[in-house]
């Protein structure tokens, strides 16, 4: 059993570690972080991303195991009015450098720009990352995290957008009402699917 609740600043390091585990085989993050210490550097990358986005209007949802409070899964959302601040990202620059290296920063900026170019202009919620730790996969954690936030989004009558580089995950998203609207080009060796969910009016 687990409970879904918003993350606090004190939770971000543990949340980053869960995302690093979940994205270990992800083809998009592999274009940024590779090598024998990939797991450690991914955790640093996600921690820097979470800390810089938490200062804006992002939402980080956690699924915690009821018995001991361990974080099983994480979902990171951007609200329709979220604004990426260069200052917020600059504050985390030392951690970004530790994760990516100086040479990796330009690649990360290019990836960020490529993904942004494919996002629809219409105001929407954006699922930036969602991941479940190894010991909790197959227990419905990812689906519960997704549906929990989608209920709030539906109540506000807003659409939702995400990118997916994994066919298995796309099946989950399709069950929740997402549809593929194209492939994202411009990322070496991978073409994630852009997926959109129209406004769903609560019954």
Q: In the prediction, which pLDDT does 40 show?
A: 93
| Sole residue written with tokens 């219409």 | 122
Q: In the prediction, which pLDDT does 77 show?
A: 95
Selection from 46, 51, 66 nearest residue 130 by Cα? 46
Domain 2-197, what fold?
A: Aminopeptidase (3.40.630)
Distance, CA of 129 to CA of 74 (rounded, Å): 8
Q: In the prediction, which pLDDT does 189 show?
A: 86
Distance, CA of 147 to CA of 121 (rounded, Å): 24
Contact by Cβ (8 Å): 126, 78: yes
pTM: 0.92
Q: In the prediction, which pLDDT does 21 show?
A: 94
CA distances from 161 to 105, 111, 121, 166 (A): 25, 17, 11, 15
* Cα radius of gyration rounded to whole Å, the chain: 16
Domain boundary assignment for the chain = 2-197
Selection from 160, 174, 167, 159 nearest residue 191 by Cα? 167
**Residue 71 DSSP SS3:** strand
Distance, CA of 81 to CA of 169 (rounded, Å): 26
Contact by Cβ (8 Å): 77, 61: yes
Strand partners, 187: 190
Q: What is the pLDDT along the chain (203 residues), one digit of tens a residue?
A: 999 999 998 999 999 999 999 998 888 998 888 888 899 999 999 999 998 876 566 899 999 999 999 999 999 999 998 876 666 777 888 999 999 998 888 999 899 899 999 999 999 999 999 999 988 888 899 999 999 999 999 999 999 999 998 888 899 899 999 999 999 999 988 999 999 999 987 66
Q: In the prediction, which pLDDT does 137 show?
A: 84
Selection from 126, 114, 129, 116 nearest residue 187 by Cα? 114
| Burial state string for 146-174 with b = 16 or more CB within 10 A and e = fewer than 16 | beebbeebbeeebbbbbbbbbeebbeebe
Contact by Cβ (8 Å): 6, 60: yes
Selection from 57, 71, 68, 88 nearest residue 16 by Cα? 71
Q: In the prediction, which pLDDT does 53 show?
A: 77
**DSSP-assigned letter for residue 129:** E
């Amino acid at each position: 059993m687990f409970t879904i609740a918003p993350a606090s600043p004190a939770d971000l390091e543990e949340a980053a570690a869960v995302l690093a585990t979940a994205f270990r085989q992800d083809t998009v993050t592999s274009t940024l972080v590779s090598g024998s210490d990939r797991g450690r550097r991914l955790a640093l990358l996600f921690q820097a991303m979470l800390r810089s986005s938490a200062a804006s209007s992002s939402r980080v949802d956690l699924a915690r195991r009821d018995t001991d409070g361990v974080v099983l899964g994480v979902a990171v959302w951007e609200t329709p009015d979220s604004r990426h601040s260069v200052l917020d990202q600059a504050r985390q620059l030392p951690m970004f450098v530790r994760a990516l290296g100086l040479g990796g920063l330009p690649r990360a900026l290019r990836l960020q720009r490529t993904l942004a170019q494919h996002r629809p202009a219409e105001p929407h919620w954006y699922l930036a990352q969602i991941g479940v730790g190894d010991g909790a996969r197959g227990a419905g954690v990812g689906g519960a995290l997704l549906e929990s936030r989608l209920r709030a989004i539906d109540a506000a009558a807003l659409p939702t957008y995400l990118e997916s580089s994994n066919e298995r995950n796309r099946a989950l998203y399709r069950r929740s009402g997402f549809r593929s609207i194209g492939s994202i080009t411009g990322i070496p060796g991978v073409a994630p699917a852009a997926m959109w969910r129209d406004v769903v009016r609560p019954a």
